[in-house]
Each structure stands twice: as C-alpha cells, then as structure tokens.
Amino acid sequence: MRLALAEAERAARSGDVPVGAVVLDQGGELLAVGHNERELTGDPTAHAEVLAIRRAAERLGGWRLTDCTLVVTLEPCTMCAGAVVQSRVDRVVYGARDEKAGAAGSLWDVLRDRRLNHRPEVITGVLAEACAQQLTTFFRDR
C-alpha cells in the first residue's frame, strides 16, 4: 500500500485526485503501477486502477491477471471494478472507502456480485487513515 500511496502523491503533483494503484504477481513482485491521470491526459478512463491493470497485462503479455493482486488507495469505482472483473484479478486490497462512488462494498458491490463470472477476494481498510488523509488534504487545499 505504501507504493500505491507514493503513486497517489504523483497524481496530486500533476493536479489529479491522489489515487494510486499497484499490481503484484503471485509472489508479491511488482508488475505495474498507476495513478490518476485524467487531468494530465484528458482521458476520463485514466483512473489509477485501469492504468495499472493495462500496464500489468502488457508486461505479462495477456489480458488475464489471474494470480495477481491489485492494491489501490481508494475503493474502486464501478468502471474500475468492472476492469478488475474483466481482467480476472484474484485479489483487491484497498485503503479508504468511497461512500459516494465505491463499488467494492460501500455504494455498490460489483466485485462480489454473484451474477458475474469472476469474484476476486476483497481486503479493505489497509492503511485506510493514511489513504483518506491524502485525499482530504488534496481537496482541502483545492
């Protein structure tokens, strides 16, 4: 999670909401990183999770991220939860809950929806205070 927090800080420096994500392989080795780049690129889909998933798939040479873990500072939104399901990520670890747009248990629970063909393990609250504080500071300063 500390790597994801560092990625989130990179997003904040470029004017984006500070969300960072990393993808780890089965052995815990770093495959890819991402941070929000919507403001930087003008791309509404440039969320940290989507970028990290894309980069991990490119590194692995295929779209299936089976046996991988996505670690992200903020609970994934519906778009990012959909990307997790579609990429077959095995585990999602997130820090701060997102009561307004979270799709991993807060507002929706896309990741554990039994109607879908893939349901990753979800671990919540890892370094939640640090993750939430980073977001609070960013929005307070704006």
- Sheet containing 69-74: which strands, arranged edge to edge? 30-35, 20-24, 69-74, 91-96, 121-123
Residue 37 known to be catalytic: no
Q: CA-CA distance, 33 to 4, in Å (whole number)?
A: 8
**Where is the binding site for Zn(2+), in residues?**
47, 77, 80
- CA dist 85 to 81, 93, 96, 122, Å? 6, 14, 20, 12
Pull the structure tokens for residue 88: 């077959």
Q: How far apart are the first and last CA of the chain?
A: 25
Out of 7, 9, 29, 49, the active site residue is 49
Annotated binding site: 47, 77, 80
CB within 8 Å of 140: residues ≥ 6 apart: none
Q: Which residues are catalytic?
A: 49
